[in-house]
Amino acid sequence: MTGPAPADAALAGTIEREADRRRTVAVIAHPDAGKSTLTESLTLAASAIDEAGAVKGKATRRATVSDWMEIERSRGISISSAVVQLDAAGTLINVVDTPGHADFSEDTYRALAAVDCAVMLIDAAKGMEAQTIRLFEVCRTRDIPVIAVVNKWDRPGREALDLLDELEERTGRVPTPVTWPVGEAGDLQGLVDTTTETLTTYESTGGGHLPVATVRSGAEAAERFGSAWATALEEVELTREVRGLPDQDDFHARVSMPVFFGVATKHLGTVDLLRFLRDTAPPALPRRTEDGAPRPVTEPFAAQVFKVQANMDPAHHDQVAFVRICSGRFDRGMMLTHAQSGRRFNTKHALSVFGRERDTVDVAWPGDVVGLVNATMLHPGDTLYSDEAVEFEPLPRFAPEMFATVAPTDPSTAKKFRKGMQQLAGEGVVQLLESERRTAQAPMVGVIGSLQLEVLTSRLQAEFGTAVRVEPLPWTMVRLVTDSDLALLERRRDLEIVTTDRDRYGLFRDQWHLNSVMRELKGLELPTPV
């Protein structure tokens, strides 16, 4: 049996080296924990920008570079995943800043399918909140290593040791601090490197620039900070005895969870986190195909769509599909096959996207995220490949929890309304639902929460020039409907049957209504959507 041709072996070696120097990381957290601010602070630390936009207070802050939609800027929240690539001394770090609001959980969950590691941001005063715990469970399900960052240590908050106990109790992973605060929450005097037991202090330079960092020996720290330094060292020793030092193998194996402390708005501790991502975070890893087998990064080119975004450039009303390159080398202009339709796809318009800024991508490697323009045939979860057919495991989809009809207030904008609804549903802003009771003039949509409807109406007005009226529907309970269930339910007028491209749902007013139907019609299955 002959081995690979020299050219193939050389390419495989190049692919392995390029994959090895890439890190693809999601930033996740409960709303208002500071995800977008941390993303920008990391960008500043990597010298990708000269000045950060985040300052105290959402009411006065300029929007961060990853928040590019008008509604994100006006509301001070992230509602759409954004991707920035940082060059940290030759290591390329792709940072995915995700929505924190629970109404946009599906967008966050899709982003987690595209990364190899997650940075979980925790508010020093609040600890692990509901959405943080929910997101961590997704990381556990997808076997994603997690780094914890305790943010806002410049404000009053909980004790550091208590936060470690909660992390271990809630996640089952051993929290191993990489840095440790000198001074209680609200009185941060510096950060200890738990391995070298040196202290870094910071002096603000103002104007959104990185602070000046000074590394001090233990003796210098003891002389300058006295009891605060002694207390910090005692806590470091205690955590070391109980939990050990940070270990790369345990981190990659999801046994332990490295922990950092800092203040994202002031860029305190961000350089330490960036250095850890560069040196210790996992490289681009094989992705699982639909049969569950990992696909080596050296296989021919294949990529998975994890996000579709319309109108990032309002002047052109374009549609960008963000793909995670899973294997092989990407060359702009290569012809690919769309696994779901079998159609060919030309990649001549391939971009890297930094907020609203765009640069052409000529070559990319496993771990990179590339934006493909005018990708109207592509949807989240789809696969593109170059040679033999392959399809990656599907992305999660949430069953809707709220329902409404949407219609243009001005009938003359009906054409723009239909185009806008199709594009925004393709992104996943809402789910379009088909029902025999609804018309194309006032289609039915399903969402996780009301903020999605606000985003829908705002973007239809801003990007498509059509104002709409939204009429809430009474359904609050959702169940999957099998073929046998359909025969029993389709003639009833007290409920509604709707379909998506994947599922068929039965909609009920409330739990009492669902129980009543189940009692009346024996033999119903009606499983709960997963």
Cβ burial of 311 (10 Å; 0-12, 13-18, 19+) is: buried
- Decide: helix, strand or coil at residue 102: helix
Question: Is residue 488 within 8 Å of residue 506, measured between CB atoms?
Answer: no
H-assigned helices in 428-479: 450-464
Which domains does the chain possess? Answer: 22-280 (3.40.50.300), 287-385 (2.40.30.10), 402-520 (3.30.70.3280)
In angstroms, the CA 260 to CA 80 distance is: 26
SS3 299: coil
Question: Chain-centre distance of CA 292, in angstroms?
Answer: 22
* Residue pair 336/344 in contact by the 8 Å Cβ criterion: yes
Q: How far apart are CA 480 and CA 224, in angstroms?
A: 65
- Contact 82/66 with Cβ under 8 angstroms? yes
Q: Residue 313, Cβ neighbours under 10 Å: how many?
A: 12
d(CA 380, CA 320): 11
**343 phi, psi to nearest 5 deg:** -80, 155
In what helix (H) or strand (E) does residue 440 lie, and over which residues does it extend? none
Residues 484, 489, 491, 497: is their CA dihedral positive or negative? negative
Residue-level pLDDT at 111: 82
Taking Cα atoms as reference points, which of 481, 494, 491 lies closest to residue 524? 481
Q: Rounded to an integer, what distance in angstroms lies between the CA atom of residue 210 and that of residue 44?
A: 7
**Structure-block tokens of residue 475:** 């359904």
Of 296, 308, 309, the closest CA to residue 366 belongs to: 296
CA distances from 373 to 68, 300, 315 (A): 17, 22, 14
Q: What is the pLDDT of residue 76?
A: 42
Neighbours of 156 (CB within 10 A): 12
- Residue at 253: amino acid letter: A
- Helix 227-243 vs helix 160-171: angle between axes, to the nearest 10 degrees? 20
Closest CA to 170 of 195, 146, 137: 137
Residues 396, 111 contacting (CB under 8 angstroms): no
Distance of CA 328 to the CA centre of its chain: 24
How far is residue 500's CA from residue 506's CA, in Å, rounded to a whole number? 12
**Which residue ranges of the chain lie beneath pLDDT 50?**
1-4, 49-81, 100-101, 103-104
Residue the block writes with tokens 């399918």: 113
Backbone angles phi, psi at 67, to 5 degrees: -95, 100
Residues composing the chain: 530
CA-to-CA distance for 71 and 456, rounded, in angstroms?
A: 10
Cα–Cα distance for residue pair 107/28, rounded to 1 Å:
11
Cα separation, 38 vs 150, in Å, equals 11
Q: Which residue has the tokens 């289609």?
A: 443
Cα–chain-centroid distance for residue 506?
A: 30
Handedness of CA 183, 186, 189, 192 (dihedral sign): positive
**In angstroms, rounded to a whole number, what is the distance separating the alpha carbons of residues 36 and 428?**
21
